[in-house]
Amino acid sequence: MIGVALQEGADLDGFRAAVRRLAARKAPPESVSWSAAGESDLFGGGQGEADGAPPVGLPRALGELIRLVVCHSDCERYALLYAAVWRVLNGERALLDVQSDPLVHRLEGMAKSVRRDLHKMHAFVRFRETHDPDGTERFVSWFEPEHFIVEATAGFFVERFRSLFWSILTPKGSLHWDRATLTVGPPAQRSDAPQSDGFEAAWRCYYENVFNPARLNPKAMRQHMPEKYWRNLPEAASIAGLVQQAPARAREMIAREAAEREKRDPLKAVAAMAEQGPRTLEELNRLIAASEPLTPGADRAVLGEGPMEPMVAFVGEQPGDQEEREGRPFIGPAGQLFDRALGEAGIDRSGVYVTNAVKHFKYEPRGKKRLHKRPNPSEVKRYRWWLQRELSFVRPKLVVAMGGTALLGLTGKPLSVLRTRGPIAFDGVPGYATVHPSYLLRLPDEAARREAYDAFRDDLVAVRRLIVANGK
Ligand code: URA
C-alpha cells in the first residue's frame, strides 16, 4: 500500500504532485491510501513537489472538477479523484460525459456542493469594524463554510475590498489582507471576531429599505439564505418582521405603483390593472379608491352602491361636489331629480344599483365653489375598464346609461344620447340609453324642462316595463 499524506484542507498542489508520481509508478487506486493530516508517507514530505515525475495530461473538465472537489470536506475526496484520474489515463478519456457512472455522479455532486458553498461565502460574509493594536482600521468577518473553500474565495474578496485592511476568520482557516499582501492563517474561533459594531444599525436600516416585499418568496429565501447563516448576518434580526409585514407592504406598493403608472400613461395603467385582476368587487373598489383623483383635492372615489345581481344598474357621469364630500352617488340636486323620476316610474331606488362612469369629481375652483368640469374622452376611457369589471361583478339584468359620458364609458364610442335613446345592449347585457338628470336641470326655460323631465320619467317607465318583462 502506498500512503499519501496531503496538507489539511484543500491541498491542490499536493494532490497534483502526488498524481504525477503515482501515475509515473502506474499505481492503481486500490493500492493508494490517502490522508489529509500531514502524516508521514512514502514520499516523505515535500508534498508539492513531483520529484521530476512527468506531467499528466488530463482533459480540461477533469482539471476543473479536481480544483473544486479538493475543497470538499469529505475525507474520501482524494481517493475518489484519483480513481477518476486513473480511469481517464487508462482508456476512459470521456469518463466525465457518462453522468450515469456512480463515480462521476458522486464527484459532480461534490463539485456542486463546493460551488454552492463558494457562492454562499461570497454572499454572506459581513465585516465588522475593529482596530489593530497600532490603531489601523480593520474589517473582520466570521464565517462558517461547509468545505475548505477559504483560500479559493481570496481572489474575490481581494478584488472587492482591495483598499481596506480586512480579515476573514473561519473554523477552516483565515485570510488577512493588508492592502498589498494576502496571508493565509490557521483556523479561528467565533469569539476571535467582533460580534457587532457601530455600523450595524446603519446596515440593518439599509437592508430594511432595500428589502422588496413584493418579491418575497419565503421558501426561495430560505433556500438562498439558509437559516444556518443567519446568526452571522446583522440583517437577520430584521428578517422575521419584514417577512411578516411583507404581504401588507406588497399590497400598498401595488396600489402606489398603479397610481404612478396611471399618471405616466393611462393606457399602460389599464394594462397594469388588467394584469393585477381584482377578484371581487371589494378588491376592485380598493384599487379605485387608491387611484389618483382627476383634480387634486377631490381625492375621494365615489363607488357604486346598491344590491348585487339587481334587476337594473343605472350609470351616471361622475360624482358632483356633494357626492364627493359624502362619498355616495346621486345625492345632490341631480340625484334628487333622479329619485323623483324613479319614484314616479314605480322603481324603488333601494332595489337598484347606482354608479358612475367616472369615479372621481373633476372640477374647476371658482372662489369657494368647485364647479363641475366634464371628464374628457381619454379620462372616461381610462375608467371604462373599471366600469366593465364593476358590472361584471354586480351582474345586473339591465344597464341604464344616463347621458353621453355613461354611453362612452359603457360602449367605448362617442354616441349621441338623443339618437341612441331607447333599448340597446352593453357587452351583451340588455341596456337602455336616456339623458342625464342634470341635463334637465340645465335647460333654460321652464316648459322645455318640464317636457324633458316627462320624457326622462317615461324612459324610466319603459325601463320598469323591461324589468317586469324580464319576469324576475
Ligand atoms: N351626476 C352624476 O353623474 N353622478 C352623480 O353621482 C351625481 C351627479
* Best probe residue, ligand 1, of 314, 317, 353, 355 (max atoms within 8 Å of C-beta): 317
d(CA 355, CA 303): 7
Check residue 199 and give its pLDDT.
58
Check residue 43 and give its pLDDT.
47
Cell of 101: 457512472
Q: Measured from the CB, is residue 409 less than 6 Å from ligand 1?
A: no
pLDDT in tens, 36-48: 874 344 444 445 5
> Cα dihedral angle (92, 96, 99, 100), rounded to 10 degrees?
30
**Atom of ligand 1 minimally distant from the CA of 438:** 1
Residue ranges of the chain whose pLDDT lies below 70: 38-50, 197-207, 209-210, 214-215, 261-276, 470-472
* Percent share of the chain, pLDDT over 90: 63
Cell of 235: 440583517
d(CA 385, CA 392): 11
Check residue 108 and give its pLDDT.
97
**Atom of ligand 1 minimally distant from the CA of 436:** 3
**Atom of ligand 1 minimally distant from the CA of 329:** 6
Q: How far is the CA of 410 from the centre of ligand 1 (A)?
A: 16
Cell of 415: 354616441
Cell of 444: 333654460
Task: Write down all domains in the chain, each with its CATH number in brackets.
Answer: 2-121 (no CATH), 125-197 (no CATH), 200-264 (no CATH), 267-470 (3.40.470.10)
Cell of 134: 497600532
pLDDT in tens, 69-105: 999 999 999 999 999 999 999 999 999 999 999 999 9
Q: Measured from the CB, is residue 329 less than 6 Å from ligand 1?
A: yes
Q: Which residues pair with 430 in a beta bridge?
A: 425
Q: What is the pTM of this model?
A: 0.50
